[in-house]
Structure 1
Amino acid sequence: MNAIEVTGLSKHYGNSRGIIDVNLEVKEGEVFGFIGPNGAGKSTTIRTLLNLIHAEKGEARIFGLDCFAQSRKIKEQVGYLPSEVHYYDDMKVRELLKYSSGYYKKDCSERIDQLCTALELNVDKKLEELSFGNKKKVGIVQALLHQPRLLILDEPTSGLDPLMQNKFFEILREENRKGVTIFFSSHILTEVQRMCDRVAIIKEGRILKTESIDTLRSTTYKRIKIEFVKLENTAFEGFPGVVDRTDSENGMEFLYNGPIEAIVKKLYEYELRNLWVEEPQLEEIFMHYYQ
């Protein structure tokens, strides 16, 4: 059974674009990435799946259940972390988590203690005293406390420092080993590459492509910036895999998609002052990846 099945899902906000004919299949037990720049339609897709906003057309199912007609039953099996979390500020963390667990009609206290310990979350603080990162931790615990079959995470690492991000990813891997399906939305390509089995790319409300993460890695561009000791105006002209080249006073930069050993061998032909190899912006990948 697929954990998520979406067919022809569309949503507009008045005359503004939301999502258009979105089609997705997420296999049960996989970690599925959903990536795109801010405003691409990631959150709209998720909120429509959870019946938090209403679709204009299309169908969506989670574990075979209709997302619109059976949303209450679905929510018992789903943990959701929105991109931004908002709480009753005068409540303590412990009180909020106890209140949240009451929706699931089971004792979640041991699970809450385990998660709060792992995330180094002080449960005796009031929510108004928490930083943005600690509020995000509260949201993570809320999403996981009832041991859901499916986790839907919308930009889950925003606000977490690098060490806490690593702990969070460890928690997700452990959940996935237990059989939990994870739907991971992000605009950060490296996060998705690190966690996911497959990935769907959305831009301007439409799904561009669904790929295995291995295929995505093999075709992902690198941004390369070179500063020469002596300016080489004709360097890399016509070199396979080089696109979007721009020249500067003493160097150049471009996107490169090809074997890394080929570009390194070519660089040996020149005397360099500096070299940068970086992950490109996601928008740059959209411009070139599917041309």
Structure 2
Amino acid sequence: MRTAIELNELTKTYGQRRGLDGLTLQVRAGEVFGYLGPNGAGKSTTIRLLLDLIRPTSGTARVLGLDPRAGAVELHRRIGYLAGDFVVDGRQRAGECLAFLGGLRGGVPVARITELAARLELDLTARIKSLSKGNRQKVGIIQAFMHDPELLILDEPTSGLDPLVQQTFLDLVTEARTAGQTVFMSSHIMSEVEAVADRVAIIREGRLVATDTVTDLRSRSFLQVRLTFADPVRPEEFSVLPGVTDLVLDGTTLTCRVDGSPDPLVKAAARHTLTGLRADTQDLEELFHAYYTGHAA
């Protein structure tokens, strides 16, 4: 399978501080790859190394089969990039700015810019300095997507966007994947990554903690179960069940954590009269925090 990004033992130090520590990672061509971690974990450092904005202390990176430094001119034509701190000349109108950036990429049809602006509800006649943070972010999203690049590298792409525009952005990402484009999306907002990513990587203090599909990560999640019975039950009936931990019995209400199949717990509960049942699964954010604090396997 072709790879769009391949990192091998990539390390970047800033004096005594390490931004990345031996990062080895592959992103497959045509997938949406979520890159998760809180501020300071090394996400932006990784992206800047991919784009040759900074140079690694050691290790190697290949982007679309090319060295980021030697192939910088070609790569910058083939990549759509949205920086976490997107900044352009505030004196320009949004449409003028996008036309200028499109010209630098060899020309982008005006109809394409207009279409994206309409979907994101951006006024192309407004001067950038008059725009809110969310509307400036829309300019950044449009300039990244408008030339239909092979690879999209997006650093905290929905910063400042309202929920409806966030959904439009996620639609654009899904459409890019359908068209065969690769999306590398750095974020600390788990819900947006969970909605569109094929695989995710979790980074902690410059080191890779986990890489997996969203489906497989979710399969490792546990259930938080709350059972309410008509009459008192003995906790021993449930504490010995496989996968049941953190059991607490308060009157006729039993709460516990279930790892794996809930079938033994359900069968044991069925021997009594239930008046209430609730089971909550972890979302990706809870899984992330479990990995990040070292509590996950």
**TM-score, normalisation: structure 2:** 0.82
The one-letter code sitting in structure 2 at the alignment partner of 1:111 is R
What secondary structure does 1:20 align onto? strand
Instruction: Give the secondary-structure state (helix, strand or coil) at the position aligned to 2:38.
Output: coil
Q: 1:207 to 1:278 in 2, by over 3 A?
A: closer
Report percent identity of matched pairs: 38
Query: Is 1:190–2:196 an aligned residue pair?
Result: no
How far does residue 290 in structure 1 lie from its aligned partner after superposition? 4.4
How many Å separate the matches in 1 of 2:232 and 2:80?
A: 55
Contact 1:9/1:55 (8 A) holds in 2: yes
Would the alpha carbon gap of residues 124 and 255 (structure 1) be closer, same or farther in structure 2, given more than 3 Å must change?
farther
| Mean CA deviation greater in 197-206 or 186-195 | 186-195
Closer/same/farther in 2, CA of residues 167 and 260 from structure 1, 3 Å limit: farther
Offset at 1:273? 11
Q: Distance in 2 between matches of 1:231 and 1:81?
A: 58
Aligned to 2:44: 43
**1:263 shift after superposition:** 6.4
Structure 1's 198 and 14: CA in aligned 2 closer, same or farther, altered over 3 A?
A: same
| Worse overlay, 160-169 or 10-19 | 160-169
Change in Cα spacing, 1:112 to 1:242, as seen in structure 2 (3 Å) is farther
Count the aligned residue pairs: 289
| Cα displacement (A) at 1:227 | 11
Aligned-pair Cα RMSD in Å: 3.2
CA contact (8 A) 1:148 1:180 kept: yes
Q: Structure 2 unaligned runs (5+)?
A: none
SS at match of 1:171: helix
Question: Which residue does 2:289 correspond to in 1?
Answer: 283
For the residues of structure 1 that align with 2:62 and 2:68, how far apart are their CA atoms?
5
- The one-character-per-residue Cα deviations of 1:26-46 (angstroms, maximum 9, x if unpaired) are 111111121123221111111
Q: CA deviation at 1:160?
A: 1.9
Q: 1:11 to 1:238 in 2, by over 3 A?
A: farther
TM-score, normalised by the number of residues in structure 1: 0.84
Bigger radius of gyration: 2
Q: CA deviation at 1:79?
A: 0.4
Mapped partners of 2:265, 2:204: distance in 1: 30
The 1-side partners of 2:219 and 2:277 are apart by: 29
State the secondary structure of the residue aligned to 2:26.
strand
CA contact (8 A) 1:186 1:192 kept: yes
Report deviation, 1:16.
1.4
Any idea what the Cα deviations from partners look like across 1:218-261, whole Å, max 9, x if unmatched?
11346x48698999996975665567x598x9999886543466
- Within a 5 Å distance, the mapping from 1:12-23 to structure 2 comes to 12-23=13-24
Q: Which moved more, 1:82-91 or 1:130-139?
A: 82-91
1:104-123 map, 5 Å = 104-123=105-124
Aligned to 1:29: 30
What amino acid does structure 2 have at the position aligned with 1:258? G
Deviations 1:252-284 (A, max 9, x none): 988654346666777887877998766354322
Q: Deviations over 1:138-185 (max 9, x none)?
A: 110010112110001112122222221221111111111111111122
* TM-superposed deviation, 1:9: 0.6
Q: 1:76 to 1:239 in 2, by over 3 A?
A: farther
What's the secondary structure of 2:107's corresponding residue? coil
Q: Can you give the 5+ residue segments of structure 1 that lack an aligned partner in the other structure?
A: none
Aligned residue identity for 1:131:
S
Tell me which amino acid in the other structure corresponds to 2:181: V
What corresponds to 1:124 in structure 2?
Answer: 125
In 1, the alpha carbon distance for the partners of 2:281 and 2:258 equals 10
In the alignment, which residue of structure 2 is the partner of 1:94? Answer: 95
Which segment drifts farther, 274-283 or 14-23? 274-283
Quick check: 1:197–1:213 contact (8 Å CA) kept in 2? yes
Match of 1:143 in 2: 144
Which residue of structure 2 aligns with residue 154 of structure 1? 155
**Letter of the 1:29 counterpart:** G
- Is the partner of 1:65 in helix, strand or coil? coil
